[in-house]
Amino acid sequence: MTEDRRTRRTRRALRDALVGLVLERGFAAITVEDITERADVARATFYSHCRDKEDLFTAVTSELLDELGDRLRPLVAEDAVGFTGKPVLELFRHAQERRDLYRVVLRGEGDGKPLRLFVQRTVEVATEVFRERAEVSGARPRLAPDLLARAWVGEQTAVLQWWVEHDTPPMPVEEVARMLFDLAMHGRYWASGFDVPK
């Protein structure tokens, strides 16, 4: 087995052990020893990859975000010229595949640091998309792009957190993505059942 494959296998074992233990006991209650025992990895091997359990959780969250970014990049490029809703659908599909990891991040485990990292990285991407979309279309945003991005990411994160907490999702990914698309296109006033004023 090559070194890269061994490293990937070790990282995956540590990630899976961390996620499983956090779901069972909560992040504060677990130790490095618990993680290495569950992962069947020597403590020395653990410390060759991470400083402590917090460092491991941050690395696991960064890896999740990198993976999500790779999947969203081509769809976000499409959205630069017009909102399609495809990135939202892909986000929920990714969360469906990595449900347990999304759960521990979105619950705010680890003193909320992984959740803050998740939100910050997502806001940075959304801000850039909103700026680019306005520039390409010649639109003048009515709200500052970074505030708009934070509002949009806040909505998505809250819905995503609610959605992943159900063992059986309350609605299919396509339906929740469509609802968020409609909300983005028409606004809260419309979504609440009111006619948009002329």
pLDDT tier at 151, thresholds 50, 70, 90:
very high
Query: Taking the mean position of all CA atoms in its chain, how far away is CA 169?
Result: 17
Question: For the segment 160-193, what is each residue's pLDDT rounded down to a tens digit?
Answer: 999 999 988 889 999 999 999 999 888 888 888 9
Question: Which numeric CATH code is attached to 54-191?
Answer: 1.10.357.10
Alpha helices in the chain (DSSP H): 3-25, 32-39, 43-49, 53-79, 86-97, 99-106, 113-137, 145-164, 173-191
- Residue ranges per domain, the chain? 1-49, 54-191
Please determine, looking at this structure, whether the domain spanning 1-49 carries the CATH number 3.40.50.620: no
pTM over 0.85, yes/no: yes
Distance CA 95, CA 64 (A): 10
Between the two ends of the chain, the Cα-to-Cα distance in Å is: 67
When pLDDT is averaged across residues 7-29 and rounded to a whole number, the result is: 96
pLDDT band at 83 (very low <50, low <70, confident <90, very high): confident
Integer Cα distance of 121 and 112 in angstroms: 14
| pLDDT tens digits for range 101-144 | 999 999 999 999 999 999 999 999 889 888 888 888 888 888 89
pLDDT tops 60 at residue 1: no
Between CA 19 and CA 149 the distance in angstroms is 29
